[in-house]
């Protein structure tokens, strides 16, 4: 399936929009704190919550969630028959947060933006089940990085079993690779506390 010029412009726009480090900006605005100086030094919502303020964490998470979700929602509305655009939009949104253009290609671990992408990418409550699984694992005391990997593994299995769309399967698989890569340090760390940075 060929990609038109204006569609590529949209994908690039999504990357630049998702590159905006909302959690970092909100934390600076509300508390004057540069959250990159604390914890795992990532500009995500968890650091905004922990080292900025609870309000910064909530607002930061919400904005990071929406920049991924609304990008996919808009792509589905504008190009309802183009699964390739959905795939590229999902990857662009997550990549923008993970490797922000405005932060010299540094970024967060992309959990909030991935949650938004997955929720709007699928119909019904499919992605919501994954979020509940992640929360359940955390309640059980499973470390965050391992909870992330287990949840993403489950999401991939369910997608491959339940959907025939290779674009949808590829979107979940490639986004999972990005998120897992961003968690690699925490996965192989011997530290007692693994930071959750969205």
pLDDT tens-digit readout, 9-67:
999 999 999 999 999 999 999 988 898 998 788 898 888 988 988 899 999 999 999 99
Percent of the chain with pLDDT over 90: 72
- Rounded Cα distance between 147 and 135, Å, is 8
Average pLDDT over every residue of 156-162: 94
Residue 94: pLDDT band by 50, 70, 90 thresholds? very high
Residue of 126, 130, 98, 128 lying closest to 113 (CA atoms): 98
pLDDT at 196: 45
Q: How far is C-alpha 81 from the geometric centre of its chain's CA atoms?
A: 24
Query: Does pTM surpass 0.85?
Result: yes
Secondary structure element (H or E) that encloses residue 35, with its range: none
Residue 6: pLDDT band by 50, 70, 90 thresholds? very high
């Amino acid at each position: 399936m060929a990609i038109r010029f204006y569609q590529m412009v949209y994908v690039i726009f999504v990357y630049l929009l998702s590159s905006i480090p909302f959690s970092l900006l909100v934390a600076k605005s509300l508390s004057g704190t540069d959250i990159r100086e604390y914890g795992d030094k990532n500009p995500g919502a968890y650091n905004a919550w922990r080292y900025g303020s609870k309000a910064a964490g909530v607002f930061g998470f919400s904005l990071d969630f929406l920049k991924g979700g609304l990008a996919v929602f808009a792509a589905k509305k504008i190009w309802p028959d183009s699964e390739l655009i959905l795939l590229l939009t999902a990857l662009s949104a997550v990549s923008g947060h993970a490797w922000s253009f405005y932060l010299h290609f540094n970024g967060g671990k992309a959990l909030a933006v991935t949650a938004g992408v997955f929720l709007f990418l699928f119909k019904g409550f499919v992605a919501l089940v994954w979020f509940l699984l992640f929360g359940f694992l955390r309640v059980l005391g499973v470390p965050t990085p391992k909870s992330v990997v287990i949840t993403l593994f489950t999401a991939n299995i369910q997608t491959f079993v339940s959907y025939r769309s290779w674009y949808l399967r590829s979107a979940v698989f490639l986004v999972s690779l990005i998120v897992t890569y961003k968690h690699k340090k925490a996965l192989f760390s011997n530290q007692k506390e693994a930071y959750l940075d969205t």
